[in-house]
Amino acid sequence: MTEKPPAWYLAVQKRAQDEAPHTPEPIVQAVEYTVNCLPDDNINAFVYQIRVQYRGADRYAVIRGGDQCLGADGTWDYGVKEYDRGDDWLNAHRFDLDTALRLAKEQARLVTVNGRTVTDVLGGRDG
């Protein structure tokens, strides 16, 4: 049996419904792109992908493996969050969208996982 939500929750939900016609139109924004040389149905696609993530102020980060962030110098740095990084680090690891997508496409061709290149995976070679 499903438990009934508490009265305070129901009251807040009711108020939100009543106020909804008077709120601004929702903003919709794409915040992540996936760049990959492998097709979506390839079992290895996830580990070969590069992601371009929106980080605010019209700037994007290029991410690999969840914990690596691409710098303007073409090297990967561990840690994708801006905490305690400072403006110099942020300026070297944040890009406009066109630049971020270009860099991600360049890097997607270079991904290797356990010694296997993109060509190895696409060609079925063990690497």
pLDDT value at position 85?
Answer: 78
Q: Long-range pairs for 79-84 at CB < 8 Å and ≥24 separation? A: 80/53, 82/55
Global pTM? Answer: 0.81
pLDDT string in tens for the chain (127-residue length): 788 999 999 999 999 999 999 999 999 999 999 999 999 999 999 999 999 999 999 999 999 998 899 999 999 998 766 677 788 889 999 999 999 999 999 999 999 999 999 999 999 765 4
Phi, psi of 73 (to 5 degrees): -85, 0
Say how far apart CA 75 and CA 68 lie, in whole Å.
Answer: 10
115 and 70 in contact (C-beta within 8 Å)?
A: no
